[in-house]
Amino acid sequence: MKLNRRDLLKAAGAAGALNLAWPLSAGLSPAQAREAAEALGADYDPAPFTLGVASGDPQPSSVVLWTRLAPEPLAAVQQLPEIVEVEWVVAEDCALTRVVTRGKTPASATLGHSVHVPVGGLRANTRYWYAFKALGRTSRVGRTRTAPVGSVVKVRFAAANCQAFHDGFYAAHRGIAREDVDFVVHLGDYIYEHGPVGGVPTDHVRDHDTPAILTLADYRRRHALYKGDASLREAHAAHPWYLTWDDHEVVNDYSGTGGGAPFMQRRAAAYQAWYENMPHRDSGHSSLPDPEIHRVRRWGDLLELTVLDLRSYRSAQNLGNGTILGAEQKAWLKQGIAQGPEAWHVWANSIMLSQLRGRPGGSYMFTDQWDGFLAERKEVLNHVHTSGMEDLVVITGDWHSAFVDDIRPDFDDTSSPVVGTEFTAHSVTSGAYSADWNKTNGPVMGAANPHLKYFEGNRYGYDVYEVTPQRFSAHMRVIADRRDPESPVTTLTSFHVDRGTAGSYEDPATKNSPAQYRRD
C-alpha cells in the first residue's frame, strides 16, 4: 500500500511526533529538517545547486536562466560568502561542447544567492542547453528554447497549478518534464503558506488556523522544501516557464492593496522569496519587493500570451467599484484587447473568470475569484466583444478541479454572445472536494450555470494545449495516484475550439470519459 505525504503526516501527528515529520517545524536543525523532508520523499541536487536549475520568459532572442545557491536548502541562513561568483554557459548540445555564449554573474546574500541571467543574442525558435558553476561544483544541465518569429504552424504547451507539498507527490510534474512541449505556464499556488495543523495536513483552511510563516527566511525555506520534489526540478530543467501567482504564495485570499504594515512586510517577504526561487524576468519597471508579473509574450504569429496578476493590485471583494486588476493593469489589458494581432489570444489567469453560482438563482460560490468583481468583469468582457477580438482562450488554475466554460459578457443572459472559452485545469496535488461532493454538486453547478459545459473534480494532473492556425485543443492529463511519485499519466478527455468560432466542443473519442457533469 502506498502512503502519500498526507498519510505520513497524519500518522506522525497521531503518534505525537509531528516535529519529526514536518520539515519546517520549529527547533529543527537544517540537518534534521532535511532528514524529515527526505522521509517525506524529498531529495536534492548536489550542493550548492540543491534546488536545481530553470529557465523562463522565453522571447525570440532571449531567455532567463535561474539557479539559487543553497548548500543547506532548509537552513534559515546559508553559510556562504556575501557574494559568490557564478559562471554560466549556453550551448547548442546537451554535452555543452558547442558553446554559444558564457559569462559570470554575482550571487548575493541580499537576494538569497539567487541567479537570474537574461541571456540575449540567441536565435529564434531554437533549443539550447545550459548549466552553472560555482564553488568548484557544476549544476545539472537544463534545456530551454527561444520563441519563434513570423509564421508558426504549431505550438504545444503545458499548464500547471496548485501543488501543496503535503498533499502528495508531483507525478504531474514528472509527466510535464516528459511532454514534448515548447513551454510551461504555471498559474499560481506554487507553494502553500500553511502546512500540517496538529498532525493533520490542510487544504483550504483559514489562515488563523495555521502556523504562520511571516519572514523572508520562512518563505525561502518553504520554497526550498517544495523544490525538494525531484519531479518539480525535472520539469523546470526540461522546459522554459512563464509564471504568475495566486494567493498562497503569500497568504490565503489576500488582497495586495489591503492590510497594515505587518501584512505589507509579510507580502514583501513572500514576493522577494518568490522572485529568488523562480525563473522570472525583471521588467525593469518595478523593483523588489514588488516584481511586475503581467506581460504579453508572442509565439510567432500563432499565439499571444497575456499573463495577468490578479493579486497585487486588487481591492476588497464585493464592492460596487471594486477592482481585481487595478487601474493601470486594466487599462493595459484593454489596450491589448483593442490592438491585439490576428492570433489566438490566451490569458494566463490564476482564478476563475467565469461565473459560478452554487445553485440556480443562488449566490456565487466564491467571490475571491472574478465573481467578487462583477462590474470590472463585465467591463472587460464587453470590451472583448465590442473590440471585435476573436479566438480568446483563458487558462485558469486555483479550483483543484477541471471546468470548461463558455465566456459571455453577461453570464446571467443566455442570449449574451459567447466571446471565448475558459479551461480550468486540475491541480497538481492540492486536495479537491470529495468524490461524493463532486457527484452531488456537479449537476447542481451545471443547472445553475448555463455556460458551464464540463466539470470533473476527482482527479489530479495538468493540461496540455496544442495550437494550430485552425484549432486550439485542450488535453486534460491526469495521474493515477498522487501517492505515487511515478504515477502514470493518461489523457482523461480533450476539448477543441475552432478558429473563428467562439465556444468549445468535446472530442468524440473521449466524450464517454468519467465526469461529474457535462452538458450534452
The C-alpha angle 439, 440, 442, rounded to 5 degrees, equals 70
242, 304, 395 from 307: Cα distances, Å: 8, 10, 10
DSSP bridge pairs for 307: 295, 348
| Three-state helix/strand/coil letters over 310-323 | CCCCCCCCCCCCCC
Q: Is residue 16 part of a domain?
A: no
Q: Is residue 110 part of a domain?
A: yes
Q: Is residue 475 part of a domain?
A: yes
* Contact between residue 115 and residue 280 where contact means Cβ atoms under 8 Å apart: no
Same structural domain, 423 and 313: yes
Same structural domain, 258 and 276: yes
CA distance 118 to 240: 13
- The predicted pLDDT at position 14 comes to 61
pLDDT one-digit tens code per residue, 397-407: 999 999 999 99
Average per-residue pLDDT in the chain? Answer: 93
Alpha carbon distance, N-terminus to C-terminus of the chain: 39
Same structural domain, 377 and 253: yes
Same structural domain, 295 and 425: yes
Same structural domain, 176 and 240: yes
Same structural domain, 224 and 104: no
Write out the three cell numbers for 133: 558553476
Q: Is residue 199 part of a domain?
A: yes
CA distance 269 to 215: 6
CA distance 484 to 492: 18
* Contact between residue 6 and residue 167 where contact means Cβ atoms under 8 Å apart: yes
- Backbone phi and psi for residue 43, each to the nearest 5 degrees, phi listed first: -150, 175
Domain span at residue 87?
Answer: 54-69+80-145
Q: Is residue 30 part of a domain?
A: no
Output the CA torsion 504→338→59→53 (10° steps): -60
Same structural domain, 402 and 424: yes
Looking only at the bridges linking them, the beta strands covering 392-396 and 344-349 are parallel
CA distance 392 to 304: 10
pLDDT one-digit tens code per residue, 49-86: 999 999 999 999 999 999 999 999 999 999 999 999 99
**Band of pLDDT at residue 198, cut at 50, 70 and 90:** very low
Helix (H, G, I), strand (E, B) or coil at 328: helix
DSSP bridge pairs for 422: 394, 405
Same structural domain, 134 and 258: no
Q: Is residue 35 part of a domain?
A: no
- The predicted pLDDT at position 256 comes to 83
* Contact between residue 23 and residue 34 where contact means Cβ atoms under 8 Å apart: yes
Residue 3 clears pLDDT 60, i.e. is over it: no
**Band of pLDDT at residue 200, cut at 50, 70 and 90:** very low
Same structural domain, 404 and 258: yes
Residue 209 clears pLDDT 50, i.e. is over it: no
Q: Is residue 477 part of a domain?
A: yes
Residue 160 clears pLDDT 70, i.e. is over it: yes
CATH number, residue 177: 3.60.21.70
Give me the amino acid identity at 477.
R
Helix, strand, coil content of the chain in percent (nearest 5) = 25, 25, 50
Contacts of 14 (CB under 8 A, 6+ apart): 199
- The predicted pLDDT at position 195 comes to 76
Last residue of a domain, one of 145, 179, 201: 145
CA distance 455 to 1: 30
* Contact between residue 252 and residue 206 where contact means Cβ atoms under 8 Å apart: yes
pLDDT one-digit tens code per residue, 244-296: 999 999 999 999 888 899 999 999 999 999 999 999 998 876 666 689 999 99
Complete DSSP assignment for 233-293: HHHHHHSEEEE---STTTSTT--TT-S-HHHHHHHHHHHHHHHHTS-PPP-SS--TT----
Q: How many domains does the chain have?
A: 2
CATH number, residue 59: 2.60.40.380
Q: Which residue has the higher pLDDT, 1 or 307?
A: 307
Contacts of 156 (CB under 8 A, 6+ apart): 179, 180, 181, 182, 464, 465, 466, 467
- Give the pLDDT mean for 143-164: 98
- Cis preceding-peptide flag for 289 (omega within 30 of 0): yes
- The predicted pLDDT at position 18 comes to 47
The number of residues making up the chain comes to 520
Complete DSSP assignment for 331-396: HHHHHHHHH--SSEEEEEESS--S--BSSTT--BS-TTSGGG-HHHHHHHHHHHHHHT---EEEEE
Pick the closest to residue 380 from 329, 425, 342, 424 (CA basis): 329
Residue 496 clears pLDDT 70, i.e. is over it: yes
CA distance 258 to 85: 39
Q: Sign of dihedral through CA atoms 352, 410, 386, 403?
A: positive
pLDDT one-digit tens code per residue, 79-123: 999 999 999 999 999 999 999 999 999 999 999 999 999 999 999
The fraction of the chain above a pLDDT of 90, given in percent, is 88
Same structural domain, 364 and 253: yes
Same structural domain, 168 and 93: no
Q: Is residue 160 part of a domain?
A: yes
- Give the pLDDT mean for 453-461: 98
pLDDT one-digit tens code per residue, 318-369: 999 999 999 999 999 999 999 999 999 999 999 999 999 999 999 999 999 9
- In terms of average pLDDT, the best of 1-15, 27-41, 175-189 is 175-189
Last residue of a domain, one of 127, 145, 163: 145
pLDDT one-digit tens code per residue, 368-427: 999 999 999 999 999 999 999 999 999 999 999 999 999 999 999 999 999 999 999 999
Same structural domain, 86 and 210: no
